[in-house]
Amino acid sequence: MPTALARPLARLIDELSKLPGVGPKTAQRLAYHILRAPGADAESLAAAVRAVKTDLRYCGVCFNIAEADPCAVCSSDERDQRVVCVVEEPLDVLAVERTGRYKGVYHVLHGAISPVNGVRPDDLRIAELASRVRSGAVDEVILATNPNLEGEATAMYIAQLLGTTTALVTRLARGLPMGGDLEYADEVTVSRALEGRRAL
């Protein structure tokens, strides 16, 4: 039986439904919106998707997503290079930056230790963090991993690893809900958590 859906539209719906949080119905609505949008808008969307894959890289210092290496934060004279905030994912950097209160730099792990999911310390950017701290260029490491089982395990592992260094190792204060993700926390909650950080 022939399908009522043209192949290019079916392909777009299929590709959109692969995005996280986009089910079949949402993918259909998005596809039909793109179909009805002016050609320039569709081309602009396609160009933005291509640019994300071709024009971005990881910063060689903090491993955040960047256009240049080092990134704008790592190369800024206005940031305190001696204070490093350790986060799990690039989206967590945005959560901390939204507070407008943090003036240090970052280190993105790209995940959290999770034996159940087969993620070991060697799979993350922990060795690079240890190297940064052991170079003597870091006075404080703020562990801002998510307040869930994996985030706590990752924070404890890093705290033990850096225990022999001269850097102060702190953890975001409670105020972030257990089981939640940093990227979904509001600015006030993250601000208070930054202000109430404590040594491990």
pLDDT in tens, 6-64: 999 999 999 999 999 999 999 999 999 999 999 999 999 999 999 999 999 999 999 99
Beta-sheet pairing, 198-199 with 168-171: antiparallel
Question: So what's the architecture of 80-199 in CATH?
Answer: 3-Layer(aba) Sandwich (3.40)
**Which backbone phi and psi does 84 adopt, to 5 degrees?**
-120, 125
If 0-12 CB within 10 Å is exposed, 13-18 middle and 19+ buried, where does residue 190 land? buried
- pTM, two decimals, is 0.80
Would you state the structure tokens that stand for residue 7, as one six-digit string?
């192949």
Beta-sheet pairing, 57-58 with 65-66: antiparallel
Give residue 119's identity as a one-letter amino acid code.
Answer: V
Token pair 């970052």 is found at 106
Predicted confidence (pLDDT) per residue in 49-98, tens digit: 999 999 999 999 999 999 999 999 999 999 999 999 999 999 999 999 99
Of 1-10, 105-114, 122-131, the one with minimum mean pLDDT is 1-10
Residue 177 DSSP code = P
Neighbour tally for 86: CB within 10 Å: 25
What ranges do the domains of the chain cover?
7-54, 80-199
7-54: what fold? Helicase, Ruva Protein; domain 3 (1.10.8)
